[in-house]
Structure 1
Amino acid sequence: MSDDVTGAERAAAPYPHQWEADVVLRDGTTTHLRPIRPGDADALQRFQMAQSERSTYYRFFAALDRIPARMLRQFVQVDHAERVALVAVRPAAVPAVPAAPSAPDAEAGPPAGTTPEASSPTTSYGTLAGTGEEILGVARFDVLPGSAPRTAEVAFNVADSMQGRGLGSVLLEHVADVARELGVRRFTAEVLPQNRAMLGVFREAGYATEQHLDDGVVTVGVDLDPTDRSRAVMADREQRAESVSMVGLLGARRILLVGPGTPDAGLESLQAARVIESHGTDPGDTHLTVLATPGPVPGSPAARTAGDASATGIVWARTWDDVGDVDLLLVAAPPAAAVDAVWRAAAKGARGVVVLSAGYAETGEAGLARQRELVRVAHAAGMRVVGPASYGIVTNAPGARLRASLAAQAPPDGVVGLFCQSAASAVTLAETVRRRGLGVSALVSAGHRADVSGNDLMQYWQDDPATGVVCLYLESIGNPRKFSRIARRLAAKKPVVVMVAGRSGHVVPPGHAVRATRAPRRMLDEVLRQSGVIRAENTHQLMDVAQVVAHQPLPAGRRVGILAGSPGLLTLVSEACEAAGLEVSRSVALPPGASGDDLASAVDGLYGPDACDAVVVVDVPVVVPRSDAIAHAVAAAAARSGRTTVASMLGLHGMPGVLRSGDVRVPAFATPEDAVWALGAVVRYARWREQDHGEPVRIDGLERARARELVEGWLAGPPAGDGAPVSLDEARAAELLACYGIRLWQTRTVRTPGEAVAAATELGWPVALKAATRALRHRTDLGGVKLDITEEHELLADAARIQEAASSLVPAVDPLLEVQPMAPPGVACVIRSREDELFGPVVSFGLAGDATDLLDDVSYGVPPLTGVDIARMVRGIRTAARLFGYQGAPPADVRALEDVLARVSLMADDLADLESLELYPVTVGEVGAHVLHAEIRLREAARRTDPLRRALS
């Protein structure tokens, strides 16, 4: 191991804050990862002294009770470039959480490594810790000098007390992500053959690996380029860990409510205490303790004697000494007391905290700092945070109900998993659910969403047998890429219904920390469409769809049968069905006062074999009162046939008992239009479920490593060194595009007509001549383009005219010219990509021309894209017909166009520093697609919201 960087130099190296992250481990607890610091030496020594002889031998291939002083300095003094170390830490004052039972998988073992290693502490979790941090695990690498491709020797070590929780695999993900950022393309490690767990961590990570045995040591090589399998492994482990962490919240049994001891700040505390006492604790359900500090709220139940138990079994405590073991902390105290409560509850074993009170990020920068400190302390103690400003959590699991909320009346039991953010929206949704008779499996209000988000709940609900449909009321989406990835996976198993307040996602409520975005306002629509979720425009529609998917089977198709109480209603409903994309295959209008036989005949016809895929029933009598006969007949037929059914019947709304037969419940809607809209949305979702969504595009022969090296090199030089963007000239743009198999059509930029003739002679006639000015390059109508020039005299005249036009239009710009060989004729298209701070890479497609931009006839996609996504983008614009033989023109080579679009999507996904790319025009002929011009702009980007590593964000 080289030591070419002095300790002083390493100590002065810029600290890479972007590498810090909070992570969820396999047992659902959290910990903090960060780069090592020189001040971590004592903590690293304590870590080593606590390791078992077996772990020490696996790590150093020798007995080593203490790390020698020189080696210790080398371990903690790194340059964050050639030598890197990450440590997993927690405050030393927090007692260790009992280890989860070991599981015989590769992720679970004792990640003891190979080369020497590093670790560290320092108190970054507030003043309460007092005793600094303890190190739980270390991952480090040293770049091998002169290696090509750039290779680093990697090593791991995990505390004996943490083995079996997946910390080794998390450290590998993070240290690999850092290595890729620094241009390292390969890891190598030496591992003892008996260290099967460490070998398993490498083998099961999903990267391309190789290993061989030499002199009793296994040498492992790991290619750090992400693979489909490495992405899938990360997503699977992330889902399991985040799901388990939600179990710690939703499955809590021992609840502690902490409220303020002053009446002017005790409204949430008093309300929560009343809710807790009114609900009580059924046998086998939660056990509750209420603690008001420093004293009880006047007039509240907490004025009882310390240790007293109420009639419902609730214990009212006066001091922390009266509090026993805790699973979940419920905080209704001011921010100043919340961190202390979290710290003390962690010592009692709490796995989560729900913050009901406000006074955090919505109050400004000071409040945001308090909110971040609260989350830091909680994560350091292994806890997840719901809130602040949360309405709380309600679960309805039989025998394990949880009432950790401000809801005086909890929603009834059901199969809907309901997530929202602000307390106000939770109040509305809870009342709407109760009024409609629609039950929930759980209701979670995330408040400011400082930690727990809809992504976490989707991870949990994916495998929750009590949840059949997921409903999300979102006021902001902090991580759209992760949301899309998780929602798409969940929607393939269960319906996901989403309402986004503000529609576009550009409006951020007070208290929500969300990155800014420059993406088009309809970008969120595309993210939701790619995710396969059902989009609702308002709370009314959210609940309308939930009624259908919670209690009716998914329709087998879009053929609809209609049973209406009059011909007029039948006509109106038929029109609504067509507008919703449904096909009316059978319809019956019952006359007023129809007999029972007429009703039975009509119902039997609609529910007959293969008569239709879904039934819409509308009964609005004008004179006589509504009879329950139709409702009973329809409910019985729906239960008998399994046919999807919705109804709009006078006086019925929600899930009325009259429309129930056995376990089948037919949803009722306020208007026929509501019923048809909800059915149409469910039909589209059912069709999405059945479709082949393809696999992420894969193209062999790409030079991804070369592309990264080029970008890194160009950004390292001027003017990018000052953070300025870098615009690539034609040669560099062609070189970068070639790494992804995209050939840029040859171009020569000239200053005079004579130079244009020379360029044409070199490139070959005929040629195209264009003004190099952006305003004229594509404008034949303004005299900026002349095509198919075959003669020298013609070229000389055209060059003079174009320069004259350019000088008159843009007088301050030198009128340069571009000469190109003529490309085959075809349809001119535009492919663009832009790196957005919130959404990441955004790829767009449209046909060339002003009309496309003016009418916004553009399709969008967020990589990674599948082949199906690419095909949809091409066919999704209104002018796509021009590619398929419009008005007798020959069809364009759409497959070649899709290939270019796919390569651009891979390039945009790989290169976060690709600030913008424009291929304009891409001419698609009968054979082939030709890129005639490219504009590429690079800028060093911030880390994406969904990197290739697990992290809470």
Structure 2
Amino acid sequence: MTDLPYPAHWEADVVLRDGGTAVLRPIRSDDDDRLVAFYSRVSEQSKYLRFFAPYPKLSRRDVDRFTQVDHIDRVGMILTVADEMIAVGRYDRVAEDEAEVAFLVEDSHQGRGVGSVLLEHLAQAARENGVRKFIAEVLPENRKMVTVFKDAGYNVSGGFEDGVVQFELEIEPTDTSIRVMTAREHRAEARSVERILTPSSVAVVGASRSRDKVGAAFVRNLVLGGFTGPVYAVNPTARAVAGVPAYGSLLDVPGEIDLAVVAVPAESVNEVVLEAAAKNVHALLVVSSGFAETGREGKKRQHELVRVAHAHGLRVVGPAALGVINTDPAYALNASLSPVVPARGKVGFFCQSGALGTVILQTVASRGLGLSTFVSAGNRADVSGNDLMQYWEEDAATDVVLLYLESVGNPRKFNRIARRLSVAKPVVAVRSGRFTQGVPLGHSVHAASVPQAAVDAMFAQAGVMLVDTLDQMLDVAQVLAYQPLPDGSRLGIVGNSDALGMLAADAAVETGMAVARQPAAFLSDVSAEDLERAVAEMVGDDGVDAVVVVYVSPLDVDGTEVAHAIARATADSVKPVVTTFLGTQGVPEPLRRVDEQGVAVHGSVPSYASPDVAVRALAKVTRYAEWRARPRGRIPVYEDVDTERARAIIENVLTDHPKGTVLSESCMRELLACYGIDVWQTHPVSSVDEAVVVAEKLGWDVVLKGAAPHLRQRPDLADVWRNIAAEDEMRSAWTTLSATIGDPSEARFVVQKMAGQGVPVVVACAEDPMFGPIVWFGLAGVATELLGDQAFRIPPLTDVDASNMVREVRAAPLLFGHSGGDHVDVGRIEDLLHRISRLAYDIPEVLSAELTPVLAGPTEAAVLGAAVRVGPADLGSRTDWFVRRLDHH
């Protein structure tokens, strides 16, 4: 048989349990030799467990049956490493919505989580093809496969019959199955990063004897940094580099290699990748330039680099990377171009910019801020900030995470990981190009259609502290690394300068902090004892949540005695204390608390060049503490939602309109009704007589309005005539509106029952090519749009998300009785937000849906109008929601 269209969107690079990579793809008819070779490597025991009988060889008929599939009723998927098959899984449909599933994994790759990956991807393919249930028969002694099915997180039933264990799996994604998948993804990706940051040996490929060459710098920094394992130089023309023995290729190195640093011309990198794979190297750090940052050819070269590396089980940092650092003395790893390595500390730093990496490290070191690990990813072709967050979440050596981002390749995944990480560890991010939407040449990302406010909302929703500059990031990090989180926003100020005290107070008011106590400032020559007493009193005040200490001196003194006094007064503080100590930036030595290794630890008091900078850093930390203390909320469950019916409606529409369309009113109302959203019906009318007839049927008390898109939300409201109670009023309204807004046929007049009093709001969603579904809320009107007064979130929404959305728009007081208005039923608005969020999350073919106007009153939220646009979904846009796959940057 000939293959039907090959489903390329099912292809995926995946990370396995041990951190290695593999390629997953649908099986093809030309995989016959690959399948036979794979089967020959599988043990007789594994074959018996798969086929329930001795099955030493595959017949030609078997090979054809397994490799020739239709990708609909018969689906097969394989995993390969170095183009050799290591596992195969398949399903065969046995009923309309039911299929039998089975797997076979090569013995040497069992225990790597291969079966779980295959099950996830087969289930995703099956759902696309209308299959809702998997059935499987497993021998009781096949404990590994029994575990795969039981631990998948799907609804599983079955039992023991005729000597086999029978499973039935409902493969619709559940909260449990998604949690299981993300937990496995987290462990695998964390392990892959761990292999990069904790190597027992490093080889530098392209290690030149010239001191000014990149390779020589890496060897030198590794050796001088005290790396605890062997360092190998790879240079075919040298016997030694920087005192390190050199070898002609990676294959000539006598020992094992965990991390290979690649510093050869771009066109030679893939050759090194193949050598690294043959040498069983775990990971690659590619510092070579000449990839996507150079244009189209470089982009192709970069894509090929990642493809070859993943195909051979390797992850890549780079290309154009500055390097990686691990300050743990067990490794003392400085595999970077920076000769400066900050002291050991509890801060993990991810930086996309190779060019800025050295400057960042020097700045961090000058402030005395200690790092646990540092990764500069350059073009971020593979290893990204998402991967590092997965690692740092479990890393006991890291308490604070800093991200210098030039782009976000997969915002959905970023949001998901950051939300989880921020609950336990603070995350601070700088995002360059935030206002220009610029992306460096080496970075490949989808173009976002949402406004910058939506991007900022994604960070805020995840608890990430977004700052504008590197200095602001380090300002905030100094508080987080060395001081406790505040319990509130009440600020106490102690100092010996009225002017600087006022500067701190002004900054507090500007940033939403409350000045709880600001006693009269001491004279500039205040004694250490008096200052210590005042600081201790402020720290002990129950009405103060955080303290700023300002100390300046008109005399040329070192202030050591005063610093020790401040340190003593704050030694046992459970509140954050920051200082402006002689204008020092960082953590001055006298204010530093150290452990037995001399490493600065919690309780060190950070200093800032000016008190307003200190207060702004405290304000960011205070907002984060408030976010962290808030309940996470729950995602509501709606029993009246009919997702299957909604999908059928859209499928029928797209059959007639394959390129997409705006739904008719009847179809739109039917679709939204599937999600419990009742849209008030409008009645199109083409003449005044027809309008009168409709109004009489409705019992009068109606409105006449123009429904054409160009008339929506006119600031003068000239498109609507309300409270029409009789025929003469309708005729008058028709005449006036026709004169005001034009030809009734172009205005598309409609008659609708009159709603009660209320505040008009908008509830909407859209499918963004970068973010996936986005939900937003605002008060209706042109002014709201012009001012950007809208709240955004990424679904699914918790009840806390929906509540915050309604309350964070600047016009929100109008919903809560402002200036004598009605207090609307906000719960009804939140309910609509949840329902539109669920629609957006469930059905990517809904490209946009807007409920407007929604008239929010004291007892209801009447949806008076809506527009829904549907179109074919990008099959590759959301496949990482229910299956694990590496991003293709």
Is the shorter-chain TM-score for this pair beyond 0.5, marking a shared fold?
Answer: yes
When residues 777 and 278 of structure 1 are mapped into structure 2, their CA distance, relative to the original with a 3 A threshold, is closer
What is the aligned counterpart of 2:245 among 315, 331, 336?
315
1:267 counterpart = 2:213? yes
When residues 380 and 661 of structure 1 are mapped into structure 2, their CA distance, relative to the original with a 3 A threshold, is closer
Indicate if the aligned counterparts of 2:453 and 2:792 stay in contact, CA closer than 8 A. no
When residues 734 and 233 of structure 1 are mapped into structure 2, their CA distance, relative to the original with a 3 A threshold, is same
Give deviations 1:66-114, integer Å, cap 9, x for gaps: 23323422322222233222211122xxxxxxxxxxxxxxxxxxxxxxx
What does residue 520 of structure 1 align with? 451
What does residue 537 of structure 1 align with? 468
What is the aligned counterpart of 1:57 among 43, 48, 54?
48
Indicate if the aligned counterparts of 1:620 and 1:626 stay in contact, CA closer than 8 A. no
Indicate if the aligned counterparts of 2:159 and 2:166 stay in contact, CA closer than 8 A. yes
More off after superposition, 16-25 vs 621-630? 621-630
1:409 counterpart = 2:359? no
What does residue 84 of structure 1 align with? 75
Give deviations 1:236-272, integer Å, cap 9, x for gaps: 11111111111110011111100177989x8212322
What does residue 617 of structure 2 align with? 678
What is the aligned counterpart of 1:771 among 706, 712, 727?
706
What does residue 706 of structure 1 align with? 645
Which letter does structure 1 place at the counterpart of 2:106? A
Any residues of structure 2 matched to 1:339-358 within 5 Å, and which? 339-358=270-289
Indicate if the aligned counterparts of 2:714 and 2:782 stay in contact, CA closer than 8 A. no
What does residue 597 of structure 2 align with? none
Which letter does structure 2 place at the counterpart of 1:164? G
More off after superposition, 182-191 vs 473-482? 182-191
What does residue 397 of structure 2 align with? 466
Which letter does structure 2 place at the counterpart of 1:704? T
When residues 194 and 819 of structure 1 are mapped into structure 2, their CA distance, relative to the original with a 3 A threshold, is farther
Shift of 1:562: 1.1
The alignment partner of 1:492 has SS state of helix
Distance 1:68 1:788 in 2: 80
Distance 2:390 2:552 in 1: 43
When residues 386 and 602 of structure 1 are mapped into structure 2, their CA distance, relative to the original with a 3 A threshold, is same
Shift of 1:800: 4.6
The alignment partner of 1:139 has SS state of strand
Distance 2:680 2:246 in 1: 78
Distance 2:92 2:728 in 1: 64
What does residue 886 of structure 2 align with? 952
What does residue 306 of structure 2 align with? 375
1:211 counterpart = 2:146? no
When residues 737 and 216 of structure 1 are mapped into structure 2, their CA distance, relative to the original with a 3 A threshold, is farther
Indicate if the aligned counterparts of 2:250 and 2:279 stay in contact, CA closer than 8 A. no
Distance 1:440 1:274 in 2: 21
Indicate if the aligned counterparts of 1:393 and 1:404 stay in contact, CA closer than 8 A. yes
Distance 1:776 1:643 in 2: 56
Distance 2:127 2:828 in 1: 31
Indicate if the aligned counterparts of 2:208 and 2:216 stay in contact, CA closer than 8 A. no
What does residue 501 of structure 1 align with? 432
What does residue 231 of structure 2 align with? 288
Shift of 1:140: 2.0
Indicate if the aligned counterparts of 1:286 and 1:402 stay in contact, CA closer than 8 A. no
What does residue 674 of structure 2 align with? 739
Give deviations 1:583-610, integer Å, cap 9, x for gaps: 2222341113234543343123212252
Give TM-score, length-normalised by structure 1.
0.88
Give deviations 1:335-367, integer Å, cap 9, x for gaps: 222111111122222110000110011111211
More off after superposition, 593-602 vs 158-167? 593-602
The gaps in structure 2 that reach 5 residues or longer are 595-600
The alignment partner of 1:640 has SS state of coil
Distance 2:53 2:449 in 1: 55
When residues 628 and 288 of structure 1 are mapped into structure 2, their CA distance, relative to the original with a 3 A threshold, is same
What does residue 28 of structure 1 align with? 19
Indicate if the aligned counterparts of 2:223 and 2:231 stay in contact, CA closer than 8 A. no
Distance 1:608 1:261 in 2: 60
Any residues of structure 2 matched to 1:630-779 within 5 Å, and which? 630-661=562-593, 663=601, 664-715=603-654, 717-720=655-658, 724-779=659-714
1:135 counterpart = 2:68? no
The percent identity for this pair of structures is: 44
Give TM-score, length-normalised by structure 2.
0.95
Distance 2:312 2:482 in 1: 41
The gaps in structure 1 that reach 5 residues or longer are 1-6, 92-132, 297-301
Any residues of structure 2 matched to 1:596-607 within 5 Å, and which? 596-607=528-539
Which letter does structure 2 place at the counterpart of 1:30? T
Indicate if the aligned counterparts of 1:504 and 1:524 stay in contact, CA closer than 8 A. no
Distance 1:762 1:42 in 2: 74
What does residue 456 of structure 1 align with? 387
More off after superposition, 74-83 vs 888-897? 74-83
Distance 2:351 2:434 in 1: 15
Indicate if the aligned counterparts of 1:776 and 1:782 stay in contact, CA closer than 8 A. no
Indicate if the aligned counterparts of 1:362 and 1:510 stay in contact, CA closer than 8 A. yes
The alignment partner of 1:556 has SS state of coil
Give deviations 1:376-432, integer Å, cap 9, x for gaps: 121122111000000011111122221211112222211111110121121111000
When residues 777 and 573 of structure 1 are mapped into structure 2, their CA distance, relative to the original with a 3 A threshold, is closer
Distance 1:767 1:654 in 2: 68
The alignment partner of 1:522 has SS state of helix
Shift of 1:517: 1.1
The alignment partner of 1:665 has SS state of coil
1:184 counterpart = 2:131? yes
Shift of 1:863: 0.9
Which letter does structure 1 place at the counterpart of 2:215? S
Which letter does structure 1 place at the counterpart of 2:248? R
More off after superposition, 834-843 vs 342-351? 342-351
Distance 1:900 1:819 in 2: 24
The alignment partner of 1:316 has SS state of strand
Shift of 1:705: 2.2
Indicate if the aligned counterparts of 1:504 and 1:525 stay in contact, CA closer than 8 A. no
The alignment partner of 2:101 has SS state of strand
Which letter does structure 2 place at the counterpart of 1:641? S
When residues 611 and 636 of structure 1 are mapped into structure 2, their CA distance, relative to the original with a 3 A threshold, is farther
What does residue 507 of structure 2 align with? 576
What does residue 598 of structure 2 align with? none
Indicate if the aligned counterparts of 1:487 and 1:531 stay in contact, CA closer than 8 A. yes
What is the alpha-carbon root mean square deviation over aligned residues? 2.2
Shift of 1:911: 1.1
Indicate if the aligned counterparts of 1:883 and 1:894 stay in contact, CA closer than 8 A. yes
Which letter does structure 1 place at the counterpart of 2:92? D
Distance 1:219 1:595 in 2: 81
The alignment partner of 1:897 has SS state of helix
Indicate if the aligned counterparts of 2:489 and 2:513 stay in contact, CA closer than 8 A. yes
The alignment partner of 2:571 has SS state of helix
Shift of 1:494: 1.0
Shift of 1:319: 4.0
Give deviations 1:892-920, integer Å, cap 9, x for gaps: 11111110110000110111111111111
Shift of 1:704: 1.5
When residues 713 and 70 of structure 1 are mapped into structure 2, their CA distance, relative to the original with a 3 A threshold, is farther
Shift of 1:841: 0.8
Shift of 1:836: 0.6
What does residue 96 of structure 1 align with? none
When residues 181 and 321 of structure 1 are mapped into structure 2, their CA distance, relative to the original with a 3 A threshold, is closer
What does residue 227 of structure 1 align with? 174
The alignment partner of 2:310 has SS state of helix
Distance 1:788 1:202 in 2: 62
Distance 2:476 2:417 in 1: 20
Distance 1:288 1:262 in 2: 15
Shift of 1:489: 0.9
Give deviations 1:480-523, integer Å, cap 9, x for gaps: 11111111111111111111112248211011011111110222
Which letter does structure 1 place at the counterpart of 2:304? E
